[in-house]
Amino acid sequence: MSTGTIVFIKTIVQYGFIKDDANPELDIFVHMDDVEGPDLVEGERVEFEIENGRRGPFALNVKRLSDAESTMQTGTIVFIKPIVEYGLIRDDDNPELDLSVHRDDVERLALVEGERVEFDPPRSGVTNIERLTDTK
């Protein structure tokens, strides 16, 4: 089984792409029919099998990694809008994907741009965010 991160999902048309941990320069196509459980979200960690098709590699038997296999991720606050209380984190492991920060965490931590944070891997948004250091 391979592991990777969902980097794009378009639920309306039922497909997306996985960035394979073993081959990060290659995005693997995934159709929602090959996913066990509810819809995936961008940034979610998965395991899967890879098959080669006419148009390139595609994922089969896609499963979410269990919470026991998940670890805290780290990133940098790249955008904060305090007036509407939301922001974005650039994930260290997946820098092309910015993750949204919920207004409760923005308010609770008084986050600022450039600050380093750690957080639980997202399912539908970043959760359990904490400041890594008091300096930028």
Write down the pLDDT at residue 68: 40
Look up the domain containing 111 and give its range.
Answer: 73-131
Residues whose CB falls within 8 Å of the CB of residue 14, separated by 6 or more in sequence, listed in order: 31, 32, 33
Q: Are strands 45-53 and 116-120 parallel, antiparallel or unpaired?
A: unpaired
Write down the pLDDT at residue 127: 60
Q: Is residue 123 part of a domain?
A: yes
* Residue range 11-32, pLDDT digits in tens: 788 899 999 988 888 889 999 8
| Residues 82, 127 within the same domain | yes
| Residues 48, 101 within the same domain | no
CATH of the domain at 84: 2.40.50.140
| Residues 34, 88 within the same domain | no
| Residues 88, 58 within the same domain | no
Beta strands (DSSP E) in 82-126 are: 86-91, 98-101, 116-120
Q: Is residue 136 part of a domain?
A: no
* Residue range 56-95, pLDDT digits in tens: 899 999 988 864 454 677 889 898 887 777 788 898 888 8
* Residue range 113-123, pLDDT digits in tens: 898 888 776 65
For the chain, what is the domain count?
A: 2
Write down the pLDDT at residue 1: 85
